[in-house]
Structure 1
Amino acid sequence: MLFFGMGLLFIYSTINPTNVNFLPKCPLYVTTGIYCPGCGSQRATHYLLNLNFIGVVKQNVLYILGLCIIVYHFLIIAINAVLKKRIYNYIYHPKTPLIILIIVLLFWVLRNLPFAPFHLLAPH
């Protein structure tokens, strides 16, 4: 599993998904032309691994929010384990999934609107 993950990191750091056809395409976009909330994530991963943060934001702003949530989660776990603290992890709050769902649905709708400023949310 570790080698598989390292292989993926190597592929996404060296190959720009825009320039190749063998990496998977978004089935929703391919069939309907509608951007899903994850559209642009492969390119965002490539840009992140190459430290191009502007490129990440241009591909998928929600990607940054997802990374922040993941970092927050593991940071709280690490602080609690290392410092023997009991800091509450808000990821486990009962309303957190609902809030995340609302954000994702809003992003999904807004990034498909064809006029300014919402067209900036579409991957480009």
Structure 2
Amino acid sequence: MPLTVCPTPDTARPATPAGPALEDGTLAGAGPAVTGPLGEDSSQVPGPQGHGSVLKRRTGLLGRLATPLGILAAVTAAFTYVGTVDPNDPGHYPVCPLLKLTGVFCPGCGGLRSAHAFIHGDLGAAFSANAVATTGYFLFAAVWVLWLVRAWRGRPLRIGLAPAWWWGIGALLLIFTVVRNLPFGSALAP
């Protein structure tokens, strides 16, 4: 009785169909052998990563904090630019296309002036330029701190809003847009 040895997973090779051998020793009809960039055989070539593999590789503290800190760096750079280049001076920033074409303030109109005033500590001017944007700055800060704490602890940040919340946010933005364009809502206009 012949002795059969079961190959281990790291030395297992895929079975090839039997066929006539060619001059170089490969089987006829068999495709090219799978090799890595350095010529290693298929058992040494790493396979495709599974679902969520990027998150699994970032298990160290620095890896977990990289994304929130990168976002903070980008936002800080943007706010620094807006803080140094005054949007109240014409010619530095493009004009809102909706305002230019229709004369109607969109929900974002005045956001750069709001950010400029916010950076310089003038919350009254920031709210008068764009109350929604100024509220968004505080909301962003709160969510970012929560994100950083959860990343520090190795837990993902998941914020799931039900469709009713999204509809509510959309309705508030629509009401804000309409009211800031009416005569009695001129206090909300930039």
The code of the aligned residue for 2:161 comes to: H
Give the corresponding residue for 2:66: none
Name the TM-score, length of structure 2 as normaliser: 0.53
Pick from 25, 28, 31 the counterpart of residue 101 of structure 2.
Answer: 31
TM-score, structure 1 as length reference: 0.78
1:48-105 Cα shifts (integer Å, max 9, x gaps): 111111110110011122123322322332343446789x96x422133222111111
The aligned residue for residue 52 of structure 2 is none
Matches within 5 A, 1:5-84: 6=77, 8-82=78-152
Note the alpha carbon deviations across 1:26-46, whole angstroms, 9 max, x for none: 111111110000000011111
1:119 maps to 186
- Partner of 2:94, secondary structure, is coil
Structure 1 or 2: larger helix share? 1
Distance verdict in 2 for CA 1:4–1:103, change over 3 Å: closer
* Cα distance change, pair 73–30 in 1 and its aligned pair in 2 (3 A): same
2:160 to 73, 92, 107: 92
Deviation at 1:16, TM superposition (A): 1.6
**Alpha carbons of 1:31 and 1:67: their partners in 2 closer, same or farther (altered >3 Å)?**
same
Residue 104 of structure 2 contacts residue 181 of structure 2 at CA under 8 Å; is this kept in 1? yes
Letter in 2 for 1:92: G
Aligned residues: 118
Percent identity between the aligned chains?
A: 26
Aligned alpha-carbon RMSD (Å): 2.8
Paired AA for residue 93 in structure 2: L
Question: Are 2:87 and 2:113, in contact at CA under 8 Å, matched by a contact in 1?
Answer: yes
**Structure 1 unmatched ranges of 5 or more:** none
> For the residues of structure 2 that align with 1:4 and 1:67, how far apart are their CA atoms?
10
